[in-house]
Amino acid sequence: MAPAAPIDQDAIGAVASEFGRSTTLPREAYVSEELFSWEAEHLFRRQWTCIGRTGDLVAPGQIRAVVLGDESIVLTRDADGALRAFANVCRHRGHQLLTPGDAVDARLIACPYHSWTYRLDGALRSAPTFGDWAEFDLSEWPLAAVRVADWHGWCFVDRSGEAPELDVQLGNLDEVVRGYEPGRLVTGARHEYEARANWKLLAENYQECYHCPTIHPEFCRISPWDSGIDIEPTGLWCGGTMSLQDGCETMSFDGRSHGVMLPNVPDEWRRQVLYIGVFPNMLLSPHPDYVMTHVLTPLAPDRTLIVCEWLFPPDAVERPEFDASYAVDLWDLTNRQDWTACEGVQRGATSPRFRAGPLGPWEGSLHQFLSMLADAYRGGPVRPPKVPEDGRVHESS
């Protein structure tokens, strides 16, 4: 059990109350440094969190160091592609093994201080001059393992080592995305944005389209803002589908796909786009012909890094005339409209007069996201959120 978050627990009770009576988060959720530190330690560290596409982070036979929160880890893949992760700290006297951000082709991890070397499975292979010490046993000094898993081509890490299995955390999300075959898709475009807004404002904004008629006229020409239908989750995620307008094939400025349709998308979703908030910080949007993701990395209470990636089937990307901009341009515009709106809320939250507000009938998925957050803030296990009683729900198959 995590300790309860340093936030007004009565206000969190109101957030967790039944849809129709519940509220948004109190002001401190967006401005408190203390809460930000709690989230780093007890939310992001204790859940499986997506850190990007496995194949882009580390190819077979490579090692790469990445920064996660206040620590660095080394990802390795052996020639067979097996993925592993370790603390980026030498077991001798603790030198960092690899500079964060660097990736190298290597069959061994070599410490730059006294040249201890480790295999890609973390085992200590050599420790110069230690062989002469009768008491020294290489097998007792492996790198500290970090829990890592590949899910449909995305790399997830549980730094606490204590989260339930990733399959348990995600529940039936696997059934939802399976038809899109994300594991075989390749990254066709990647944008990094920095928004001057708390990460939760970005996650909250993604869970509702009530704002779409106001700020996304281009989006609404392709997809009706009020077409959302929720899917009942059995894991820590929320969201559902939205329809495409008549005559539209996908989300693009002209509503047409200039790529290749994904062949195994379930029939009922061939003219739908899915919008899934994978708790806590991944926004997963499968389209009929591409999959878009946003991964949110909190930088400060009022600053968030957003990495947006567009994944396409290899047979689309391999075409000489392929141009990812058909999918990117509408979303880049929509993203910027969204960040501007979230930054406006962040500025509102700087006012001491900011108060939690009510959720309306088109904010049911947002209620689900907030109920997971409320579980975490209370220090308890985070439970799969219930679709509100009067919500629009897909029949479970």
Residues facing residue 194 across a β-bridge: 305
The correct pick among 50, 90, 189, 296 for binding ligand FES (CB under 6 A) is 90
Instruction: Candidates 33, 37, 107, 113: give the one binding ligand FES (CB under 6 A).
Output: 113
Note the helical H segments in the chain: 9-16, 28-31, 33-38, 54-57, 166-170, 173-177, 199-206, 212-215, 217-222, 314-317, 325-349, 364-377
Within a 10 A sphere around the Cβ of 92, how many other Cβ atoms?
Answer: 15
Size of the site for ligand FES (CB under 6 A): 9
For residue 338, the partner it binds in Fe ion, ligand FES, none, with Cβ less than 5 to 8 A by kind, is Fe ion
Which contacts qualify for 54-62: CB closer than 8 Å, 24 or more apart?
A: 54/83, 54/150, 54/153, 54/154, 54/155, 55/153, 55/186, 56/187, 57/103, 57/155, 58/83, 58/103, 61/105, 61/106, 61/107, 62/103, 62/104, 62/105, 62/106
Nearer to Fe ion, 156 or 331 (CB): 331
- Does 95 participate in binding ligand FES (rule CB under 6 A)? yes
Contact 239, 275 (CB under 8 A): yes
12 in helix, strand or coil? helix
Residues near 256 by beta carbon (within 8 Å), at least 6 away in sequence: 248, 249, 250, 326
89 binds ligand FES (CB under 6 A): no
In the complex, what is the shortest distance from the CB of residue 74 to ligand FES, in angstroms, rounded to a whole number?
Answer: 13
Q: How far is the CB of 78 from Fe ion (least distance, A)?
A: 42
Residues 7-36 that bind ligand FES (CB under 6 A): none
In the complex with ligand FES, the residue whose CB is nearer, 97 or 201, is: 97
Residue 72 vs 304, nearer CB to Fe ion: 304
Site size for Fe ion (CB under 5 A) = 1
Is residue 125 within the footprint of ligand FES (CB under 6 A)? no
Pick the stretch among 110-118, 129-137, 235-243, 247-255 that binds ligand FES (CB under 6 A): 110-118
- Residue 352, classified by CB atoms within 10 Å of its CB into exposed (0-12), middle (13-18) or buried (19+), is exposed
For residue 310, what are the β-bridge partners?
189, 292
With CB cut-offs between 5 and 8 Å by kind, which of Fe ion, ligand FES, none does residue 136 bind?
Answer: none
The only residue of 58, 66, 68, 111 in contact with ligand FES, by rule CB under 6 A: 111
Minimum Å gap between C-beta 261 and ligand FES is 51
Euclidean distance between CA atoms 263 and 279, whole angstroms: 28
> Tokens 């989300």 label which residue?
251
State the minimum distance, in angstroms, from the CB of residue 335 to Fe ion.
Answer: 8
CA gap 393, 397 in Å, rounded: 12
Taking CB under 6 A as the binding criterion, the range among 90-98, 189-197, 208-216, 347-355 that sits at the site for ligand FES is 90-98
| 112 vs 213, beta carbon nearer Fe ion | 213
To Fe ion, the closest distance from the beta carbon of 105 in angstroms equals: 41
Under rule CB under 5 A, residue 338 binds Fe ion: yes
Cβ 147 vs Cβ 161: under 8 Å:
yes
**What does the binding site for ligand FES look like in residue numbers (CB under 6 A)?**
90, 92-95, 111, 113-114, 116
**What does the binding site for Fe ion look like in residue numbers (CB under 5 A)?**
338
